[in-house]
Structure 1
Amino acid sequence: MNISTTSPARPGSFIRRLNPCGHRTGQWAQILTTSIAHDQEHFLVIYHDSETELLPAEAPGQHYEFGPVPAHWNS
């Protein structure tokens, strides 16, 4: 998967996981960059409390929601 600059899954975008795996499901994060880990593309994201996480970038429209800056976001 190659992330284009017009994709909602680009660095600077906000994302939250929809599928129930992961302790931060439903919490907004900001995409910092994409990276390759274990031969798969991932999003490196940061949460409002500065915790970071790698999220698999497979099928982003099925596993993630993209949106505007959350109201509670503390940059």
Structure 2
Amino acid sequence: MKTLTESDREHRVRAVQDALECAAREGQPISPEAAADLAACARGEITAAEVRRRIIARLHADPRYRPATCS
């Protein structure tokens, strides 16, 4: 994974904060777990692919989630 400069990190953290605020204003709040994953990605601690993997894993673990099936 590429090492981020402090400027890159600050820019990414602010972008995540802005996106979370925008989603909340639009009535689409992000779970605390997903928000934490996005923040970790912005800080360069995990990759975007890892964020995606974690979010999908949580969806699959949620009993309300039912994959679409073709009939």
Which protein has the bigger strand share?
1
TM bin, normalised by shorter chain, reads under 0.3
Higher Rg: 2
Q: TM-score, normalised by structure 1?
A: 0.22
Q: TM-score, normalised by structure 2?
A: 0.23
